Structure 1
Amino acid sequence: MATAVTTARPVNRRRRIRRFMPPQHGAWAMLLLPYVVGVALVGPRWPHLPLLGAWLAGYLLSYYAFQAIKTRRPRRFADQLLAYGLGTAPLAATVVLARPAVLWYAPIYAALLAVNVGYAWSRRERALLNDLASVAQSCLLLFIVAAIAEMPPARVVPAFVTLLLYLVGTVCYVKTMIRERGNARYNRLSVGFHLAALAVAAWLDALLVPVFLLLLIRAGVLPARRLRPAQVGAIEIVCSLLVLVVVLIAL
């Protein structure tokens, strides 16, 4: 009897944790990569720490908000919305009070979030445009990081373009590996975008070329192979680290 109770407690604890953690493991690289690159490029400032907290808590808040919109059952996600709302608000307020200039980017984020809301309402959150709106939000964090450091936006523009190319390409590629596997149109879109990204990367800095060439090969070769989602994710972790290193070296 005691063993059954002991076993049940970890199971219940895991269930409670899962209630507050989205099953979107690939999102974490997209969330953290622009932040790490931005802070490394402009130099750390103390408001960057509450920014990171607000950014991650805000993502979790938005995920459950979109789930509430999608299901039309906000009460089902009331606990998550309350917890992450209470976490996001004071952290975001700290950043704004420390560097009010970050509010210049609020209208852009509002417009992009409106796109997410629209797709959540129509229950089409897997649409390509919805994913691209999320990518744009992540990459724009570079400018928030620069504003906090009181650096001109031009300082992070090359990194912004580089990460935008990488993350948009990743969205297209991952679709060809999972949800759009076997879709010739998506394969052409993915490979075509990676070709264009390679050309832009070469124009930005020659040091970016090897990584973007590798990303192009990945987009062209791997969709023909049946990889499990975990394998696709592991490959993307490696790619994210390679992009991080080369961006910091080149830009």
Structure 2
Amino acid sequence: MRTDNTTGTRRRPARRRSVRQFIPPQHGAWAMLLVPWLAGVLVAGFHWAHVPLLGAWLAGYLLSYYALQAVKTRRLSRFRPQLLLYGPITAALCLLVVAVRPQLLAYAPAYALLLALNVFYARRRRERALLNDLIFVVQSCLMVFVAASVAGTGLSPVTPAFTVVLLYFTGTVLYVKTMIRERGSASYYWASVIYHVFALGVAACLSVPIAAVVALLLARSAVLPRYRLTPKHVGIIEVVTSTLVLITTVATR
């Protein structure tokens, strides 16, 4: 019995390590992937092709993450298992969605350009640069328009939703830097606060509920950097705020 238990306890960490090799340690990225897709689907209306779109979107992110890691480290062999797993999945799901909505190819140049910029930063080992983070924000928020195109609606009905999630995630990049990597930086702190003041002005032109949420985000960016919160606590707060932003955006469409 002891031998079996010991073996079991040894195997579980090994399995977890194996799984982690295929899941990036980028917890904040999941909100940026899911919220724009949800906003586009809920505002534009659901179409069955949104399901493979989500699969392609998530698999494509995982593929791009490990591809950029290969570019950064210049060690393709190290990430070959991840690329061989996510590459075919991404390709198959993308082909399915494009077969249903060929007009989605119109977004390919924009994503190609943004991905090229990601490669530029990865080659220089500067993937944590502020501009590179903002590029990822744009990539993610464009999914609002992609989801609308899959639904067969125009872009104008989802433009307010795109604006809100773009405002939110841009501010989140600045705010999170003041909480973790740039903690104590006066320049980042004031950039975050001033940006949220600007975002509040834009939100006030959209609706009162959205402006109220952005006002809360402004208070968060001004007050919370004074406290030494752990990354876990920062992440929990962002889960709550991203959910609030999504609910408000959909409710006021």
Q: Does TM, normalized by the shorter one, top 0.5?
A: yes
Aligned counterpart, 1:183: 185
Deviating more after overlay: 20-29 vs 5-14: 5-14
Distance 1:37 1:161 in 2: 11
1:148 maps onto 2:169 in alignment: no
* Correspondences of 1:1-251 after superposition (within 5 Å): 1-251=3-253
Distance 1:232 1:23 in 2: 15
Distance 2:233 2:169 in 1: 18
Cα shift at 1:54:
0.2
Q: Write the letter of the residue equivalent to 1:235.
A: I
Secondary structure of the equivalent of 2:79? Answer: helix
Q: Write the letter of the residue equivalent to 1:240.
A: S
Cα shift at 1:4:
2.3
Secondary structure of the equivalent of 2:205? Answer: helix
Distance 1:167 1:87 in 2: 27
Cα shift at 1:250:
1.2
Q: Write the letter of the residue equivalent to 1:28.
A: W
**Count of equivalent residues:** 251
Distance 2:147 2:167 in 1: 19
Distance 1:7 1:207 in 2: 50
The two structures, once aligned, show a CA RMSD in angstroms of: 0.7
Deviations 1:98-122, CA, capped at 9 Å, x for gaps: 1000010110011111111111110
Q: Write the letter of the residue equivalent to 1:126.
A: R
Cα shift at 1:2:
2.6
Percent of aligned positions that are identical: 57
Tell me the TM-score normalised to structure 1 length.
Answer: 0.99
Cα shift at 1:11:
1.2
- Where does the alignment leave 5 or more consecutive residues of structure 1 unmatched? none
Deviations 1:39-68, CA, capped at 9 Å, x for gaps: 011111111110000000000001101110
Tell me the TM-score normalised to structure 2 length.
Answer: 0.98
Distance 2:118 2:157 in 1: 29
